[in-house]
Structure 1
Amino acid sequence: MTDPFPLFLTLSAQEGRTLPSDLFNKQMHILLGAGVTWDRLNPDLRAAFLLGYYLGNVRNGGHSQFMWNARNYYDGDPKQFLDWAMEAAERYEMPETLRIMRDVQAWMAENPDEAAIQTGFTPHVSPALKPYNAALFNAGTLDEATWLASVNSLPEAHAQTFLHMKGYKKGYVRFPAIFSDIEELRLLVSFASVVIVADDTFEEEVKAAVAADPHVKAARLAALLTDMKQALPKPATCAALALLSEGAHLPTRQSCVRAQPKRATLCARAS
Structure 2
Amino acid sequence: MSVTYEPNDPNLPLILPRSALHSEIYQPVCSLVDYVNSLFEEGFSPDTVLRDFVDLYYLDFYDAQVRNGGHSQFIHNSFDNLFSNLERAERAAKMIGFPKLANLVHRCHTFCINNPEETAEQNGFSQRAAELDDLDNELYKFEYTPEERALAFKSLPPDKAEIFLSKFTFDRLEETAESVKKAALLLIKTKTPEEAANDAVKLAKSLIEQRESKRLDPSSEYFEGAVARQTKRLTRKIRSALDSLQKGEEAPDIASKVIEHISDAELYDLSPYHIHSAIWIAGHSNLKLVSSEDWMQEISAVANSTTFANQEQTARKLYKLNQVVLKHRHYAIAETLGKLATQSTVSPLYKTTIDIIKINDRLNDVKVIEIVPDGILLLHETRGVVSVYTAQLNPLYQLRSKFSNFLKRLKLISSEREQQLLAQTSMVVPGKKLAFGMATSGIPELLYDLHLPEALLLWSPELEGLDTFHEGNLEDFDFSTKSFVWRFLSKDEIIIVEGNRQEVRIFNEKNEQEAIYPTSRLRETRQEYSKMLKRFGSL
User: TM-score, normalising length from structure 2?
Assistant: 0.41
- 2:28–2:278 CA contact under 8 A, matched in 1: yes
Tell me the CA shift for residue 191 of structure 1: 2.3
Runs of at least 5 residues in structure 2 that lack an aligned partner in the other structure: 1-5, 169-213, 217-229, 231-258, 329-442, 459-477, 484-499, 505-517, 519-539
Deviations 1:146-195 (A, max 9, x none): 11222344424521465434999687432874223222222222323345
Amino acid paired to 2:327: Q
Distance 1:17 1:59 in 2: 24
Aligned: 1:95 with 2:99 = yes
Q: Hey, what does 1:250 align to over in structure 2?
A: none
Q: Hey, what does 1:173 align to over in structure 2?
A: 265
- 1:70 pairs, out of 78, 101, 104, with 78
Distance 1:48 1:90 in 2: 10
Q: Hey, what does 2:327 align to over in structure 1?
A: 230
Q: Hey, what does 1:253 align to over in structure 2?
A: none
Distance 1:208 1:263 in 2: 46
Distance 1:48 1:8 in 2: 15
SS in 1 for 2:480: helix
Distance 1:180 1:233, change over 3 A: same
> What stretches of structure 1 move > 6 A for 4+ residues in a row?
none
- 1:86–1:98 CA contact under 8 A, matched in 2: yes
Tell which deviates more after alignment, 51-60 or 90-99: 90-99
Aligned: 1:48 with 2:282 = no
Tell which deviates more after alignment, 42-51 or 156-165: 156-165
Amino acid paired to 1:243: A
Distance 1:22 1:181 in 2: 10
Tell me the CA shift for residue 63 of structure 1: 0.7
Distance 1:119 1:190, change over 3 A: same
Q: Hey, what does 2:15 align to over in structure 1?
A: 8
Distance 1:126 1:156 in 2: 41
Distance 1:178 1:223, change over 3 A: same
Deviations 1:177-219 (A, max 9, x none): 4223222222222323345543223235435654773233233
- 2:116 pairs, out of 112, 119, 133, with 112
Tell me the CA shift for residue 6 of structure 1: 2.7
- 1:58–1:133 CA contact under 8 A, matched in 2: yes
Tell me the CA shift for residue 54 of structure 1: 1.0
- 2:28–2:277 CA contact under 8 A, matched in 1: no
Bigger Rg, which one: 2
SS in 1 for 2:140: helix
How many residue pairs match? The answer is: 250
Q: Hey, what does 1:134 align to over in structure 2?
A: 137
Q: Hey, what does 1:249 align to over in structure 2?
A: none
Deviations 1:23-59 (A, max 9, x none): 2222123233566311122222222222222112111
Distance 1:217 1:268 in 2: 28
Distance 1:196 1:99, change over 3 A: closer
Amino acid paired to 1:149: L
> Which has the larger strand fraction?
2
Deviations 1:82-122 (A, max 9, x none): 11111122233433322221221111112223322322222
Q: Hey, what does 1:198 align to over in structure 2?
A: 291
Distance 2:58 2:167 in 1: 21
- 2:43–2:313 CA contact under 8 A, matched in 1: no
Distance 1:114 1:207, change over 3 A: farther
Ranked by relative contact order (alpha carbons within 8 Å, sequence separation 6 or more), the top structure is 1
Aligned: 1:243 with 2:455 = yes
Q: Which aligned pairs between 1:12-27 and structure 2 lie closer than 5 A?
A: 12-13=19-20, 16-18=21-23, 20-27=28-35
Tell me the CA shift for residue 80 of structure 1: 1.0
SS in 2 for 1:41: coil
Amino acid paired to 2:164: A
- 2:315 pairs, out of 219, 231, 241, with 219
Distance 1:101 1:12, change over 3 A: closer
Distance 2:88 2:289 in 1: 27
SS in 2 for 1:199: coil
Amino acid paired to 1:201: D
- 1:210–1:216 CA contact under 8 A, matched in 2: no
Amino acid paired to 2:314: A
> Which has the larger helix fraction?
1
